[in-house]
Each structure stands twice: as C-alpha cells, then as structure tokens.
C-alpha cells in the first residue's frame, strides 16, 4: 500500500504563479481539440509556424510520375528533410519505413484517373484505416466550378466530420479544373469554401496578382501547392513570394523530386520557408549542396 502523502509543508504549489493559458500558434486553430492541435503542431513547426510538406501522392490519379517511379530509391532519402509527407496509403504501407517517424498527410480522396473526369472523386479511405496508420491529417481534393463540384465538397464535409470525431485535421486541396481561370478571385472562392465547410488547413496555388488576398480571406492556414516543374531559382521565388504573402509553408512535389538535386532543393526550400532566406540566398545553398554531393559521388566512385 502506498504511504499516505500528508507532508504538505514539503510541497511547492506555486500559489502565486497563475496557470499558463497560451493561445495555439496556428491561425484559426485555437478552438480545436488537443489531439487536433497536437497533429497540426507535428506538421507545422511551432518554432517558425510554417511547414515544408513533401507531396508524392501524384500516383493516385496519374500512375508512376517522373521522379516517383521508385519511391524507395528517390524519395526515402528526402524524408529527413521534410516536415510532413503527403501520400497515399498504398505507398505509405509498401515503401515508407515506419521508423521515419514523419507526420503523414494521407491522400483520402480518389477515383478517376487522368483518362477520365478528375472531379469525379470519392472518399478513398475509411477513418479506421487513417487511425490505424496513425496519420496526422487527411487530404481531400475540392473541385470548385468543375462538373462534380458538389460531390467533391461533400467529400470534404464528410471527411471533416470523421476528422473531428478522431481528432485528425483535414487538408482541403483546391483543384483548378481545366476550364477554370487560375487567379486570385477563383482561389479566394475555393479556399474560403474549403475553410467555411470545415477544412482545418488549405492547399492552393500561388498567383502573381493578389495572392495576399487569398491568404487574408482564408481563416485557416494556407500552404502553397508547388505546381509543374520550373527552374530551381524560380521555384524558390514562388515559395518566397507565397510565404511573404501569408502562406504558412508549402506542399511541394515535382519542384523537389524532379530537381536535378532533390536533397539540395528541399533544403533550399526549407531555408526560404523556415529561415526566411531570400530566393537568391537559398539558391546559393542549393548550388553548394549540389556541388558537395557531386564531389562526394565522384570520390566514392574513385575508391
Ligand atoms: C494535387 O492535386 C495533388 O496533391 C498533387 O499530387 C500534388 O499536389 C502535386 O504537387 P506538385 O504540384 O508540387 O507536384
């Protein structure tokens, strides 16, 4: 039997110290439950308030995308440099070592391939499996203005209900249909709809004109989608401009894994996002790391 604990005089109750009640660091997330906030704090760095997510979920509608043919060879070495991985449960289970201990943003919608109408998606994961996989968030595509707009919005709201039940945040991904104009007016509409209907954070594209109005009018964190591969310096400029205009990080895929030096590139992106380096400073880092790697490979080949 435990000894009775009656030594009141030897205890310190700090009677003059008020209990701390710190607001949660992420925009629009203060009223969320502990599990939800904990998961978001794994994705977004509490130090910088930002994230560098590595998106490798492309295969869910377009198969073995260039750079993702062998995720074990090309992507696993990048994992240490990412704050979170966005991917499907198939690749997660088959390829990603559980010892990576990286937050997972699980692709939770799907259905059509690139050969069909992409907006015709459905929820592709049961909540129980998301819990079993210990994911930190679930991602769903929202096709505002496309043929299956309502269905995709309904996918979002159903996932939000499930996420709320289990404490798993939902990422609303604004997919710009073929006939949509990718401008600030459209993205304001799409991001705001995602947030109004319960998305805990939103992923959207950068636009040159008025991106700050997209982030300002979205009440939850916005992360920038990478988009098609451009030159490394240009991709760093995009990440810089987006974070300067209110994005709380990036969810970048092709501009990292299709780079000629993916490890150097993801570290350069981190410099922009977390350390607020200019694109030129980050590009210098990219070039230095790329050269170091080339030198290391060359000397390993000589041995
Ligand atoms: C968006 O539709 C999917 O999540 C993509 O697979 C991902 O966002 C693409 O990333 P990126 O455009 O940076 O290659």
What gap in Å lies between CA 276 and CA 59, rounded to an integer?
31
Alpha-carbon gap, residue 112 to 165, rounded angstroms: 28
Instruction: Assess if CATH 3.20.20.70 describes domain 27-259.
Output: yes
Query: From the alpha carbon of 256, which atom of ligand 1 is closest?
Result: 13
Q: Is 110 in the pocket of ligand 1 (CB under 6 A)?
A: no
Do the Cβ atoms of 142 and 112 come closer than 8 Å?
A: no
Query: Where are the chain's structural domains?
Result: 27-259
Query: Token pair for residue 79?
Result: 């994992």
Q: What is the pLDDT along the chain (303 residues), one digit of tens a residue?
A: 556 666 666 889 999 999 988 999 999 999 999 999 999 999 999 999 999 999 999 999 999 999 999 999 999 999 999 999 999 999 999 999 999 999 999 999 998 989 998 888 999 999 999 999 999 999 999 999 899 999 999 999 999 999 999 999 999 999 987 778 889 999 999 999 999 999 999 999 999 999 999 999 999 999 999 999 999 999 999 999 999 999 999 999 999 999 999 999 999 999 999 999 999 999 999 999 999 999 988 888 887
Cβ contacts of residue 64 below 8 Å, gap of 6+? none
Answer for the pair 238, 224: CB distance below 8 angstroms, yes or no.
yes
Ligand 1: which of 55, 60, 85, 203 to mutate, judged by most atoms within 8 Å of the beta carbon? 55
Our mutation pick for probing the ligand 1 site, out of 51, 57, 78, 178, counting the most ligand atoms within 8 A of Cβ, is: 57
Q: Is the CB of 121 under 6 A from ligand 1?
A: no
Q: Residue 266: its pLDDT value, please?
A: 98
Q: Which two tokens stand for residue 131?
A: 């819990």
Q: Concatenated DSSP letters for 161-195?
A: HHHHHHT--EEEEE---TTS--SHHHHHHHHHHHH
**Residue 85: its H or E element:** strand 84-87
In whole angstroms, give the CA distance from residue 122 to residue 135.
Answer: 19
| pLDDT value, residue 10 | 80
pLDDT attached to residue 8? 60
* Ligand 1 pocket residue status of 227, Cβ below 6 Å: yes
Report which secondary-structure segment, H or E, holds 173.
Answer: strand 170-174
pTM: 0.94
């Amino acid at each position: 039997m435990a000894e009775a604990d009656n030594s009141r005089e030897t205890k310190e109750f700090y009677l003059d110290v008020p209990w701390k009640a710190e607001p949660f660091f992420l925009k629009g997330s203060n009223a969320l439950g502990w599990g939800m906030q904990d998961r978001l704090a794994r994705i977004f760095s509490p130090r910088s308030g930002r994230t560098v997510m590595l998106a490798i979920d492309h295969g869910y509608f377009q198969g073995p995308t260039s750079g993702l043919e062998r995720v074990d060879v090309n992507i696993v070495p990048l994992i240490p440099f990412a704050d979170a991985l966005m991917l499907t449960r198939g690749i997660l289970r088959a390829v990603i070592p559980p010892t990576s201990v990286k937050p997972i943003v699980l692709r939770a919608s799907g259905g059509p391939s690139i050969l069909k109408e992409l907006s015709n998606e459905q929820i592709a994961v049961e909540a129980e499996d998301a819990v079993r996989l210990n994911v930190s968030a679930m991602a769903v595509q929202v096709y505002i203005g496309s043929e299956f707009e309502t269905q995709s919005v309904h996918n979002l709201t159903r996932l939000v209900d499930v996420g709320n039940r289990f404490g798993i945040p939902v990422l609303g991904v604004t997919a710009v249909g073929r006939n949509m104009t990718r401008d600030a007016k459209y993205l304001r509409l799409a991001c705001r709809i995602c947030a109004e209907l319960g998305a805990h954070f939103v992923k959207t594209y950068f636009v040159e004109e008025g991106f700050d109005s997209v982030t300002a009018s979205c009440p939850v964190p916005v992360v920038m989608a990478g988009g098609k591969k451009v030159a490394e310096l240009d991709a760093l400029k995009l990440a810089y401009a987006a974070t300067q205009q209110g994005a709380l990080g990036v969810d970048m895929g092709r501009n990292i894994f299709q780079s000629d030096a993916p490890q150097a590139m993801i570290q350069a992106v981190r410099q922009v996002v977390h350390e607020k380096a200019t694109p030129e400073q980050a590009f210098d880092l990219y070039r230095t790391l790329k050269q170091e790697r080339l030198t290391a490979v060359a000397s390993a080949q000589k041995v």
